[in-house]
Amino acid sequence: MVLVMLAAVGLLAVIGAEDSQLQAKMSLNSRHYEQAYNNAESTLVIAEKTLLDNLKDGTWQVESSFDKDTGIKGLLNNTDDLAPFDAADRDAMMVNGIEIKEKGIAIGVYVIEYLGKLDEMPMSSSGDAPVNQANAENAFDNPLKEAFRVSALGSAGASGSSWAVVQSEMSLDPSYYKE
């Protein structure tokens, strides 16, 4: 009887230890995802500010910096393509994006797509506008606005094993950055 009780207690101890390890892994994965999401949001804010600052001071030019052949890494001209850059493709983001580091550690990468002037943008094959409805409505109010899509990938965990992607769309009046 004592041996049966010892075997039962031992089995319960093993099950409890495995459950505890599973809970610890789940908690760590959740923490890594939250950190990756926060890093993606931080990278997005940095990218948006960089876009505005560099257009304002003339460092980036819509006519040349976003050129597919001679442009700057991380700045893409998507005026000819209906399909947006696939920000969920982690490898494509790492190859095409501009890396952001914090204290020497990479926290994310971003890609900025130039979508063109809102009044010149074609509809996609599904009939949807390539930018959100609010930007499409703005096109009728101010056809000079130019649209940008900013995609940011944040990573966390061992070797960036956890990652999250966030995007935003911006429309800018060219008078903001052209004299």
pLDDT score of 178? 64
- Return the structure tokens found at 158: 């061992």
% of residues, the chain, pLDDT over 90: 25
Tokens standing for residue 156: 């966390």
The residue ranges of DSSP E strands in 120-161, in sequence order, are 146-156
Q: What is the mean pLDDT of residues 27-55?
A: 92
Going by pLDDT thresholds of 50, 70 and 90, the confidence category of residue 125 is: very low
Candidate from 6-20, 63-77, 108-122 with smallest mean pLDDT = 108-122
Q: How confident is residue 122, by pLDDT bands cut at 50, 70 and 90? A: very low
138 pLDDT above the threshold of 90: no
How would residue 137 be classed by pLDDT, with cut points 50, 70 and 90? low
- What does the chain come to in residues? 179
Q: Tally Cβ neighbours within 10 Å of residue 165.
A: 20
Residue 27 pLDDT more than 70?
yes
Collect all residues with Cβ–Cβ distance below 8 Å to 87 and sequence separation of at least 6. 93, 111, 151, 152, 153, 165, 167
Residue 106 has pLDDT above 90, yes or no: no
CA distances from 132 to 2, 33, 69, 79, 115 (A): 70, 27, 27, 16, 12
* Tokens, residue 89: 């493709």
